[in-house]
């Protein structure tokens, strides 16, 4: 198929595009190369994708409607996978405007262009942060998502709501997947695994928020990519749910799907896995809870299993070891 992936220089978009290219698809990749973190890492990811003759990169900001429209008109993709976004929960405390531009305006432009140039399936990345202040565990796709705690999560929830409206008005099939703490090789330097590994390897302290009393549903990158690729074929059809617990909208070909391990891991166990992989104990600097953070995430994966026959398999010890191996090789540590 002809597939458009946004955010191909990013962590998840890079892995997704590489998998699609390996399967023989033709992939156009959009990325703006925003210097939120080291652009050299983004450039290296794109260089690897560029080794494939079926990859066509576009350095474009989705908030630029004219340039994004030119890409859509030139490519005429059959499927769009929208992963480009301003990431980071804590960064949103200081730079909220970047989330409005990238996550809301950019996503709106893509939705509007999918109306002008219809596609078989539009899939877009959301976040477990959409569940906000919910305390019922595990998080189910049919739970309310009306209490965002940061501008980041609010921007992602807004994208889901806009997508539902477009699906209803124009009968455009859309799937929004909520990611749960994705990690693995080529990950972002601002994420906990990257920062902890770097600090432990260098003998520097690691900041541990809420005194370590937190847990996350960690999802290994290969598992997440497998789930996303399988969801491409799970095109939502208005009025045709696949199970009694399907999140399919009653008025639109739109659904939300969790992609998580379904197994929350205490933060201190996660740090212990890094220590084992690095071969050195962490110097622990316990800190209070940060504004907008939540104590736990936990996904139900019943809908993902019903739609694709797949549930994530890679446990934290294995996934962390893979990351540390990549980290040592890439940085020569």
**Of 273, 281, 264, 284, nearest in space to 211 by CA:** 284
Strands 265-266 and 215-216: antiparallel
Q: How far apart are CA 165 and CA 171, in angstroms?
A: 10
Q: Which of 37, 99, 152, 183 is catalytic?
A: 152
Q: What distance lies between CA 172 and its chain's CA centroid? A: 22
**Of 179, 198, 218, nearest in space to 13 by CA:** 179
* Strand ranges for 139-203 from DSSP E: 174-179, 182-183
**Of 174, 119, 176, 173, nearest in space to 2 by CA:** 119
166 is catalytic: no
Contact 2, 28 (CB under 8 A): yes
Contact 193, 273 (CB under 8 A): no
Burial 134-165 (b: 16+ CB within 10 A, else e): beebbbbbebebeebbbbbbbbbbbbbebbbe
Catalytic residues, by residue number, are 152
């Amino acid at each position: 198929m002809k597939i458009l992936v946004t955010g191909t220089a990013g962590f998840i978009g890079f892995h997704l595009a590489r998998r699609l290219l390996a399967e023989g698809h033709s992939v156009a990749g959009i990325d703006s190369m925003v210097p939120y973190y080291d652009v050299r890492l983004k450039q290296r990811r794109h260089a690897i994708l560029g080794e494939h003759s079926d990859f066509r990169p576009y350095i474009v900001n989705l908030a630029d409607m004219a340039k994004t429209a030119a890409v859509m008109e030139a490519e005429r993709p059959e499927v769009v996978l929208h992963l480009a976004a301003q990431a980071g929960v804590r960064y949103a405390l200081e730079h909220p405007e970047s989330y409005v531009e990238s996550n809301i305006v950019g996503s709106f432009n893509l939705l509007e262009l999918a109306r002008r140039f219809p596609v078989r399936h539009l899939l877009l990345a959301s976040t477990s942060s959409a569940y906000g202040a919910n305390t019922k565990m595990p998080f189910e796709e049919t739970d309310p998502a009306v209490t965002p705690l940061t501008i980041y999560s609010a921007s992602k929830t807004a994208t889901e709501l806009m997508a539902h409206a477009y699906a209803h008005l124009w009968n455009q099939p859309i799937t929004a997947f909520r990611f749960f703490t994705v990690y693995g090789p080529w990950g972002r330097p601002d994420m906990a695994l990257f920062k902890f590994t770097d600090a432990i390897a260098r003998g520097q302290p690691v900041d541990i928020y809420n005194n370590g009393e937190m847990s996350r549903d960690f999802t290994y990158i290969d598992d997440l990519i497998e789930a996303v690729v399988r969801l491409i074929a799970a095109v939502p059809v208005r009025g045709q749910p696949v199970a009694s617990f399907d999140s399919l909208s009653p008025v639109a070909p739109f659904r939300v799907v969790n992609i998580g391990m379904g197994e929350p891991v205490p933060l201190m166990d996660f740090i212990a896995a890094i220590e084992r992989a690095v071969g050195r104990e962490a110097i622990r600097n316990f800190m209070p809870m940060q504004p907008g953070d939540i104590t736990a995430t936990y996904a139900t994966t019943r809908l993902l299993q019903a739609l694709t026959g797949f549930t994530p398999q890679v446990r934290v010890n294995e996934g962390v070891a893979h990351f540390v191996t990549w980290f040592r090789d890439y940085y020569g540590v």
